[in-house]
Amino acid sequence: MGLALVHSRARAGVRAPAVRVEVHLAGGLPSMSIVGLPEAAVREAKDRVRAAIQCAQFEFPPRRITVNLAPADLPKGGGRFDLPIALGILAASDQVPLEALRDIEFLGELGLTGELRAIDGVLPAALAAAAAGHRLIVPAGNGAEAALVRDIDASTARTLLEVCAALEGRKTLPPAVAPPSVRSRGADLADVRGQAQARRALEVAAAGNHHLLLIGPPGCGKTLLASRLPGLLPDASEAEALESAAIASVSGAAGGGRGLDPARWRERPYRSPHHTASAVALAGGGAEPRPGEISLAHNGVLFLDELPEWDRRALEVLREPLESGVVTISRAARHSEFPARFQLVAAMNPCPCGWAGDPSARCRCSPDVIARYRARISGPLLDRIDLHIEVPRLPPAQLRPDAPDGEASAAVRARVEAARALQQARAGKPNAQLTQAETMAVCRLAAADQALLERAIDRLQLSARSMHRILRVARTIADLAGSAEIASAHLAEALGYRRIDRQPGPAAAT
C-alpha cells in the first residue's frame, strides 16, 4: 500500500488555509475518488490528472486511488489542487521521491498535456506559505504575483514534468521574479478649471479620508473631479498595498474582476461601477464568494456616479461597510469576510432634469418631483457621507484654452501628506476612521464654537453621527492649516460642507 502527503492551500475569502492532499493507493479494481468536500472543478481533476501523468510519460497506477483533501469540512474549489494531487499519486507509486515533498507547497491547474496553468488567489497563498516557512511552487503565469511577498522561496514551473525533474534533483526551477513596479498618479488636478470650492473639498477629503458627495448639473466636472482624487492620496504602505493586491488576486477574471496586475500592485485602486450594478456586484457574493466592488476599492476610491439612479437595495449594502470597513458574505455552506475600507465619492444631479438652481432657470421640476428624486437616497446613507458639495456650471470664460490652469496635484498632495502625517502621529489613523471616544478626545472645541455646533445641529436636525463627522472634518481642516486646535473658521467650513442638509428637498430622504 502506498501513501503520500502533499501540502497545498485553499481559497477562503482573502485567506489561504492550509490543505493536506493525502493520496492512498490500495488493491482492487482501478478507480479514483476525491473526498474532502470537493466542488465540481475539483472532482473533475481526476480526468485532468490522469491525462497529464500519462502525457508526461509516467505510469498512472492501475490501483484503487483515494485522494483526501483535509480538513474535510473546508470547501475546496477550482483547479488549484491538480498539481498536488498528481504529485501525490506519483509519490505514492514511488515514481518521485516522497521525501522531496516535505516543506513545499504546490499550487496549479493541469492541462491534459501536463502544462501548468495559472490560477487565482496565489498572493494570499504566498503570504501564508511565507508565514509558515515553506517553499512554494506555482505555475509560471503566477510567478510575478508570488514574488511580491518578501522573504518567500518561490519557484515557477511550466509543466508537471519540470516539477518532477526538480523533485528528483535533475533540474533547478527558476525563482519567481516580481516585475518592475509601475506607479501612475493618473490625471492631474490642474486639468480642472475653476470649481475652487469643489477642489478645496477634494483636498479635505483626501487629507482626512472622508467620503464626498458632489451635486451639480450635467457636464459641470463631477466625474473629472472624482477621477483626480487618487492622485492626491499618499502612497499606500506595503501592508496596505498587499491587502488590496490580495483582494484583486482572489477576484480573478472569472469573478468579474480584472485580476491582479503585479506591475501596478502599489497603486491605490479606483473603481467606478455602472449604476446598473446589482447589490451582489457591489458587496460580493456568489456560490463561491468573491469580493465585490466595495472590497476591490479597499484602501482606494469607489466612485458612484448618478447616485439616485442606483437601485436602492444596492446602495443600502454600503451602509455597514462605510462604518465597519468590512463586508461579510454568508452562505449556507460557508462564511466569508472581505475588507472594505474604501473612500466613497458619489455624484448626483440636483433634480431629474439636472438643472435645479442653475442661473439659466431652465429647470421645470416641481418641488415634489425634486423631493422624490432625492428621496431615492436614504437618510442613513447620506448621514455617512462627510462632505456634500455643490459643483456649479462654469461660465464660458473659465473654459477658454488660455484660461489659467488650476493648482497641480503634486502641490495639493504635499499638503495632504503633511496633514496625514499629523493624524498618524496623533491617532495612528486618518481622521475619518476615528472612533467616537477618539473623536471626543482630539476634536475639542472652545465654548463659543461648541455652542455654534449645537445650534447648527438643532437647526438642521442632524444626528449624533453627523455631529461626529462634522467634528472630524473640522479636525482635518485644522490639520491642513497646521493648527493644533480647531478654530472657529475650521468649524464653520466643516458646517458649510453639509450643504444637502440645508436644502428642503432632501428632507424627504430621511
Tell me the C-alpha to C-alpha distance, in Å, between residue 402 and each of 75, 188, 393: 62, 18, 19
Give residue 501's pLDDT. Answer: 58
Domain C-terminal end among 105, 132, 167 = 167
Quick check: is 172 in a domain? no
> Is residue 364 in some structural domain?
yes
Q: SS3 letters for 149-187?
A: CCCCCEEEECEHHHHHHHHCCCCCCCECCCCCCCCCCCC
Asked, for residue 431, whether it belongs to a domain, the answer is yes
Q: Both 156 and 227 in a single domain?
A: no
pLDDT in the model for residue 209: 96
**Amino acid letter for position 211:** H
Residue 129 sits in which domain range?
2-167
Q: 216 and 357 share a domain?
A: yes
Judge whether 314 lies within some domain: yes
Segments of the chain scoring below 70 in pLDDT = 1, 253-258, 332-333, 500-510
What is the maximum alpha-carbon separation in the chain? Answer: 88
- Same domain for 216 and 136: no
Q: Residue 11's pLDDT is what?
A: 92
Clarify whether residues 143 and 194 are in a common domain.
Answer: no
Looking at the fold, whether 298 and 209 belong to one and the same domain comes out as yes
Question: Is residue 182 in a domain?
Answer: no
167, 198, 217: which is the final residue of a domain?
A: 167
Helix (H) or strand (E) holding 222: helix 222-228
Task: Please tell me the predicted confidence (pLDDT) of residue 163.
Answer: 97
pLDDT of residue 509: 35
CATH of the domain at 101: 3.30.230.10
Identify the pLDDT of residue 333. Answer: 64
Based on its alpha-carbon atoms, the radius of gyration of the chain, rounded to whole angstroms, reads 28
Query: 9: which strand partners?
Result: 18
Residue 181 falls inside a structural domain:
no
Q: Please answer whether residues 364 and 370 qualify as being in contact, where contact means their C-beta atoms are separated by less than 8 angstroms.
A: no
159 shares a domain with 245: no
Residues 196 and 154 in one domain: no
Q: Do residues 347 and 479 share a domain?
A: yes
Coil/strand/helix, residue 336: strand
What lies within 8 Å, CB to CB, of 293 at 6+ separation is 271, 273, 277, 281, 282, 302
**Where residue 487 sits, what CATH number does that domain have?**
3.40.50.300
Residues 65 and 97 in one domain: yes
* 310, 392: one domain: yes
Please check whether residues 382 and 478 belong to one and the same domain: yes
Number of domains in the chain: 2
Asked whether residue 256 is assigned to any structural domain, the reply reads yes
- 310: in domain: yes
Of 106, 134, 167, the last residue of a domain is: 167
Residues whose CB falls within 8 Å of the CB of residue 169, separated by 6 or more in sequence, listed in order:
100
Residue 279 has a CB neighbour count (10 Å cut-off) of 18
Claim to verify: residue 194 and residue 151 sit in the same structural domain? no
pLDDT over 70 percentage in the chain: 96
